Amino acid sequence: MRLPACLPVLLLVGAVLLPMLAGLAGTLLPAFGHLPALGAAGWSLGPWRRLLAEPGLTTALRLTLVSGLGATALSLLAVALFCAAFHDRPLFRRAQLWLAPLLATPHLAMGLGFLALAAPSGLLARLLAPSLGFDRPPDLATVNDSWGLALLLGLALKEAPWLLLMSLAALNQLPAARLMATARLLGQPAPIAWLKVVFPLVYRQIRLPLYAVLAYSLGSVEMALLLGPGSPPPLAVLPVRWFLDRDLAMTFPAAAAATLLLGLTLVAIAFWEGAAWLAGRAGRGWAASGRTLGSALVRIGGLLLPILLLLALGSLGAVLLWSLAGPWRFPDLWPRRLDLATWAAQREGLWALAGATLQVALPATALAIALAVAALEAVARHGRAAWPWLLGLSYLPLLLPQTGFLFGVQVMLLQLGLDDGFAAVLWAHLVFVLPYVLLVLAAPWAALDPRLARSAAALGAGPLRVLWAVKLPMLLRPLLAAGAAGIAVSVGQYLATLFAGGGRYATLTTEALALASGGDRRVLGVFATLQAAIPLACYALALLLPRWLWRHRAGLRAA
């Protein structure tokens, strides 16, 4: 029997969309009072009345919008100005390499690190203590502030590197050098020329990742729990808090809050789109005006991103330092001694949690790569008959706030009586791992010279041998990169683990967040370090293994 050409593509998109759509239904129905599993049938506005009665709801909305839109705007601004100011430096071309550690670090580890850096008793305060004369932590809300500015900055630390990576990928597909040469010969200074002629093209290509950043920032729970204020918290935290409440009736307002977050995200995306349209109009006017002023300003603004990157690296350093810290009194910049006592004390728990984390991450990533390879291969072989346009739908989960539909996934699992299965956790992770794996693999797959496969076929190799002996080895580098990205995404999942596992599947991430409120910095440092170390090791492997394997193959080293 011949399988239809579109089957692998359908399989991939189904694996992502099925739980997502079920999750949306599972969020929307209880939001309007319908949840047979809890004995509630029919419709009611009760959940919404309870939600609206929540004190500080408007503050929660404001917090979410300020931190979400702010983090996205800050990241984009920093990336654009950085590219404009430094696009011609050699360091710029190697950016991908030094971005890797920041991309690999899960949000939670970054958040814990930023806490250790910026909290009143954090490293920055200690650094300033001698000159400002602190002998105790200053009484300032440097994190968990009531405007959500720490949350905004913390999100930007993680999102700006990712946006830079996407911009670099977009730049590789653009005739940027020729455009720049033309604009500069027409009298524009380099930074201004970049903003005028290259940035609009880059922006068009990074719109999807940008909306992913916006949706993530609006819906991020782990960052909001760590860096946002507690009462009222940002909107994304409400459904989680109520879901974890012992009173099952709180499920209904929780669903309403998740629905509100979904709506808010759509509104925010529409708002951004409108603002971008206006900015585009103004920008075209500026580009056509021939004005050349502002180079110095752009160059100064270009330092914004390096500052963010330094803060991010400092955060990573801070968790590592705390994990090794012995006694460490406040104004001291360095612990009195470094030891492995905390690691030793936590050893057994850490091993078990790391095992549980990898037990999900490895199969989820392997499954995602297999599905992505099958789908991309189907598209390469059958073209339009394989429905390649369908693949785009698998990016949808990145454009919705996680709380919005993961909450419903839990409701649906509850309804089906499957709420404590490992399979549910695995599938929920797959929903987020797959889009990233596809994102990494799609472009290199399409860029592979089709004549190589044709040559192999003419030499007598069947389709399977062409895939196995020619395409996969040649694509080893992106395949490993996709694997590393997949593992990083899975290791970082908090909500997917929490909701799909019914709160009973513990990984490094869920456990670290459960401990965060208790706040032993050393223990948190150990958790965050290990949580960051796993994906980091995978990234390093993905970088080094092809170099070693292809050490005698110059044709692949250059790629």
Which lies closer to another protein via its Cβ, residue 254 or residue 474? 474
At 152, list the tokens: 């905004």
CB of 390 to another protein, least distance (A): 15
- Provide DSSP, 127-181: HHHHHHT-SS--S--SSS-TT-HHHHHHHHHHHHHHHHHHHHHHHHTTTHHHHHH
C-alpha distances out from residue 28 to 35, 91, 128, Å? 10, 48, 49
Are 440 and 479 within 8 A, CB to CB? no
At 374, list the tokens: 């099958």
Which lies closer to another protein via its Cβ, residue 384 or residue 547? 384
Task: Verify cis geometry, omega within 30 degrees of 0, for the bond prior to 435.
Answer: no
Which lies closer to another protein via its Cβ, residue 36 or residue 473? 473
At 209, list the tokens: 């990742």
- Provide DSSP, 305-333: HHHHHHHHHHHHHHHHHHHHB-S--TT-S
How far is it, in rounded angstroms, from Cα 140 to Cα 246? 34
SS3 state of residue 338: strand
CB of 393 to another protein, least distance (A): 21
Which lies closer to another protein via its Cβ, residue 275 or residue 459? 459
Which lies closer to another protein via its Cβ, residue 185 or residue 464? 464
CB of 13 to another protein, least distance (A): 19
CB of 484 to another protein, least distance (A): 20
How far is it, in rounded angstroms, from Cα 426 to Cα 423? 5
Which lies closer to another protein via its Cβ, residue 284 or residue 454? 454
C-alpha distances out from residue 535 to 86, 452, 466, 489, Å? 29, 33, 31, 9
Which lies closer to another protein via its Cβ, residue 450 or residue 518? 450
DSSP-H helix ranges across 290-396: 295-301, 304-324, 341-382
**Interface ranges with another protein (CB under 8 A):** 381-385, 449-463, 465, 469-470, 473-474, 476, 550, 552-556, 558
Long-range contacts of 379-387 (CB under 8 A, 24+ apart): 379/9, 380/445, 380/450, 380/453, 381/5, 381/463, 382/5, 382/6, 385/5, 385/6, 386/5, 386/6, 386/8, 386/9, 387/6, 387/9, 387/10
CB of 383 to another protein, least distance (A): 3
If residue 391 lies in a helix (H) or strand (E), which one and from where to where? none
CB of 376 to another protein, least distance (A): 14
Which lies closer to another protein via its Cβ, residue 514 or residue 559? 559
According to DSSP, the residues that pair with 40 across neighbouring strands are: 35
Which lies closer to another protein via its Cβ, residue 327 or residue 555? 555
Are 433 and 368 within 8 A, CB to CB? yes
Which lies closer to another protein via its Cβ, residue 267 or residue 446? 446
How far is it, in rounded angstroms, from Cα 20 to Cα 333? 47
CB of 375 to another protein, least distance (A): 15
CB of 475 to another protein, least distance (A): 10
CB of 458 to another protein, least distance (A): 5
C-alpha distances out from residue 362 to 357, 485, 545, Å? 9, 11, 18
CB of 467 to another protein, least distance (A): 12
CB of 380 to another protein, least distance (A): 9
The residue ranges of DSSP E strands in 72-119, in sequence order, are none
Which lies closer to another protein via its Cβ, residue 132 or residue 458? 458
